Chains A and B, each alone.
Chain A
Amino acid sequence: MAEASSTPSDERVKQISPLRRALIRPELGAMVGTLAVFAFFILFAFDSGMFNSQGIMNWATVSAQFMIIAVGACLLMIAGEFDLSVGSMIGFAGMMIAIFGVTIGIPMWAAILITFFLCISIGALNGFIVIRTGLPSFIVTLAFLFILRGFTIFLPQMVERKTIIGGIREAAEGDWLAPIFGGKIFGSLFIWLGDAGLITVFERGTRAGQPVVDGIPMLIVWALVLVVFGHVLLTRTKFGNWIFASGGDAEAARNSGVPVTRVKMYMFMFTAFCATVFAICQVMEFGSAGADRGLLKEFEAIIAVVIGGALLTGGYGSVIGAALGAVIFGVVQQGLFFAGVESSLFRVFLGVILLGAVILNTYIRRMITGER
C-alpha cells in the first residue's frame, strides 16, 4: 500500500501540490490547536510562572502522562477497538507493584516484571473476549474497568487493611530496573544551568542552592519513546497497514489476508503495556500506590486521541496527532490554573476545546478524503 502511493510517475494517480500534501494530514487540526493553545497562554499567562523552568516541567510532565496512555489508546482505536479499562489498569498495576514489592517484599525488578506480565495478560484477555464473543470492546472493557478497580480496592485492604500502600521508594532503592521508570536524566546539566543562574534554585531548606528542576523525568522519556515507536510502527511498517485495515473494515481486511485477530490482540496488549508504564512511573515517583489512582484516565486518553484527529469508528488517525492532543490537554489543564481561572470552570473549557477540535478535524478529514 505504502509503496504504491509513493510512486509519483503513475499517470493514474491524481497530482497533488507538495504544499497541499504537507498540510492535509490527520494531525493538522492538532497542530493548529497546539499553536493556538500556546499562543493563548503566552498571551494571557506569560508572567504567571507557566514558562519558567518549574512551570514548563509541570505541564510537560502532565502532557507526557497523557501521551503515554494516548499512544496505546490511539493505535487500539485505529484498529477499531476501545479500551475503557485503562484508568483501572493504572490503579491495578500500581497496586500490584506495591503488593509484590513492599508487602510481599520481592526485589523491585521482579515486582515490575511480574506486574508487566500480569497486566499485559489482562490486556490479552480483554482482546480474547472481544474477538471470541464478538461483543463490542466498549462493553467488555467497561466490565474490566469495574473488575480491576474492585480488586485494586479489595487486595490492599485484605493484605494491609488500608487502601494506600507506601514505602515503594524505599523498596526500590538500589534496584537496577526501577530507575528506568522513576529516575531522572541530565541531572548535571540542570545543576550547571542552576549554577549559571539560567534557572531558579531553592532559596532555603536542605536543598538550598540546588536547581528547582533537577532533571528530565523518565516519564517524559518514555512518552517520547512510545510516540516515536507508535508513529514508526503505524506509518513505516506492514503491521501499521494491518492496523489501519483492521479498523477500517475488519471483514475486507480478513479476506485480503490481514491477521485481524492477531493485530487487535496485540493492540489490546500494547494498551495494557502503556497503562502499566504510566502506573510504574507514577508509583516510583510518588512512592505509594492508592486505590483511587487513574480514575477517569481512560476518557482522558480517548479525548487526547480524538483531539489528535483519530476517528472513533477506527481506521483513521495518527500517533503524532494523539501526542499533540495530549500536549493540548496537558497544557490547557495546567495552564488554566496558571492563568488563574476558577477551577470549577475547567470542565467547561475542556468541553469547548474537545468540541472545537472535533469540528475542525471533521472539516480537515473531509478535505482529505473528499467525502461529503
Chain B
Amino acid sequence: MTKVIKSLALGAAVLAAPFAATAEGHGDTLNYVLVSHAPDSDSWWNTIKNGIALGGEQMGVNVEYRNPPTGDLADMARIIEQAAASGPNGIITTLADFDVLSGPIRNAVDSGVDVIIINSGTPEQAREVGALMYVGQPEYDAGYAAGLRAKGDGVGSFLCVNHYISSPASSERCQGFADGLGIDLGNQMIDSGQDPSEIKNRVQAYLSANPETDAVLTLGPTSADPTLLALEEIGLSGDIYFGTFDLGENIVQGIRDGVIEWGIDQQPFLQAYLPVIVMANYHRYGVLPGNNINSGPGFVTADGLEMVEKFAGEFR
C-alpha cells in the first residue's frame, strides 16, 4: 500500500510540474487561446502551433493552443465555453460548423472576450458571431481558382482525395475545383479516411478502376503524401496531373521533382501569427485593421521553392 501512495505522490509531482511554469504568467500580460477543430493526428496544424508561439513570443503575450483530441466538433464547442470561462483577453478560433460553434462563440464575445475567426468559416459568419475579423482562405474560391488553372492546362476529369470528409469545408474545395473545371463532381470525390496505407490503396483502386482520370487533387499532406507513394507504385508519377492543397515536406519535394504541378498554400502560419499581432496591438493601443485578412490562396510551383522548402512543415 505504501508503494501505491508513493507512486501516487510521484504522479502528483509530475502532474504539478507544468502548472508551476504557467502560474507566474498571470497578471498584466495578455492571454490568448487558439482553439482549432483538428484532431491530434493532423500534422498540418503544427505550423499553426509554431505561428502562435512565435506571435506570442514577439508580442510578449501568453498564447495557448487547444483542440478536441478526436476532432469532434461538439467537444470543440465545450473547449470554447471552457476557454471563455477561464477569462482570456482574446480567443482565436476556427468556425468549422456554424450551428455548433456560433452559440459558444457568441457567448464568449458577449461576456467580454474578443474573438478572431481563422481558417474555417466565412467572413459573413465571422461578422455574424461578433468576431473582430476573419483571417483565412475562402475554401470554395480557392478550389474554384485551382479548377480554372487546371482547366487551362487541359484537365477534363479528376479524383478528389478527401481525408476529412466530415468537414463541409473539405467538400467545398472539391466542389469548387469541379465547378472551376466546368464539370459535375459526381463520384469523383472519395472518402479516403486518415490512415496513410488506406489512402494509398484507395487512390490506387480508384485509378485502376477509372484509368481515364486526368488529374488528382489532394486536400493536404495527410492525403497528398500517401497519394505520392500510390502514384509512384502504379507508375503514374509525373504522368497524371497532380495538384494539392497545403504544403508539407513531401509535397515540396514532389513539386521539385515535377510530380506535383502546384500546391495551394493558404499560409496557415499567417492565420495563427497575424491574429496574435492584431489582437495584441488592439488591446494595447486600440488599433485594428479595417478589413478581413486573406491569408491565401497562393500557388506554389517549381519556381522559387527554396524558401518554401527551408520552412516546410515548420512555418509554411
Interface, chain A (partner B; CB < 8 A): 40, 44-45, 47-50, 52, 54-55, 57-59, 61-62, 153, 162-164, 166-169, 200, 202-208, 212, 282, 286-288, 290-296, 334, 337-347, 349, 352, 356, 359-360, 363
Contact = CB atoms under 8 A, between A and B. Distances in A.
Given A293-B73, A345-B18, 10 more contacts: A45-B19, A54-B85, A54-B111, A57-B81, A153-B191, A205-B109, A290-B73, A292-B70, A295-B71, A296-B70
A54 to B, nearest CB: 4
A84 to B, nearest CB: 15
B42 interface: no
Which secondary structure characterizes the binding site on chain B? helix
B19 A339 contact: yes
A344 B40 contact: yes
Interface stretch (B100-108, B134-142, B261-269): B100-108
A162 B86 contact: no
B165 A163 contact: yes
A288 B168 CA distance: 13
A166 B99 contact: yes
Interface stretch (B61-69, B152-160, B243-251, B305-313): B61-69
Contacts of A291: 165-166
Contact of A349 (B8, B15, B25, B111): B15
A343 B70 CA distance: 13
A276 to B, nearest CB: 15
A345 B67 CA distance: 12
Please provide the 3 A-B residue pairs with the shortest distance between their CB atoms, ordered closest to farther. A288-B99, A205-B110, A54-B85
Given A162-B171, A163-B166, A363-B4, A293 B112 contact: no
A349 B100 CA distance: 28
A45 B19 CA distance: 9
Given A54-B85, A352-B11, A294 B72 contact: yes
B78 interface: yes
A337 B79 contact: yes
Given A55-B86, A164-B168, A286-B100, A212 B15 contact: no
Contacts of B314: none
Contacts of B85: 49-50, 52, 54-55, 57-58, 338
B73 A58 contact: no
B4 A360 contact: yes
Contacts of B230: none
B9 to A, nearest CB: 11
Interface in B1-50: 1, 4, 7-8, 11-12, 14-16, 18-19, 22-23, 25-26, 40
A278 B111 CA distance: 28
B19 A363 contact: no
B19 A290 contact: no
Contacts of B167: 163
Contacts of B98: 166
Contacts of B74: 282, 286, 290, 293
Given A44-B16, A205-B130, A343 B86 contact: no
Contact of A337 (B66, B100, B103): B66
A204 B110 contact: yes
Given A153-B191, A356-B8, A340 B166 contact: no
A282 B77 CA distance: 11
Nearest to B86: A49
A335 B130 CA distance: 27
A319 B14 CA distance: 31
Nearest to A343: B66
A342 B18 contact: yes
B258 interface: no
Contacts of A50: 85-86
Contacts of A344: 40
Contacts of A204: 109-110, 112
A345 B166 CA distance: 26
B97 A337 contact: no
Given A48-B86, A205-B130, A291-B166, A212 B97 contact: no
B116 interface: no
A62 B77 CA distance: 11
A247 B100 CA distance: 40
Nearest to B113: A203
A58 B77 contact: no
Contacts of A340: 18-19, 22, 25, 64
Given A294-B72, A340-B19, A164 B166 contact: yes
Given A54-B85, A205-B130, A363-B4, A292 B100 contact: no
A153 B78 contact: no
B311 to A, nearest CB: 22
- Of B25, B100, B112, most buried by chain A (CB within 10 Å of CB) is B100
A162 B168 CA distance: 7
B71 A292 contact: yes
Given A334-B78, A352-B11, A346 B165 contact: no
B110 A202 contact: yes
A330 B67 CA distance: 16
A274 B290 CA distance: 49
B276 interface: no
A341 B19 contact: yes
B84 interface: yes
Given A286-B77, A286-B103, A292-B71, A202 B82 contact: no
A342 B7 CA distance: 23
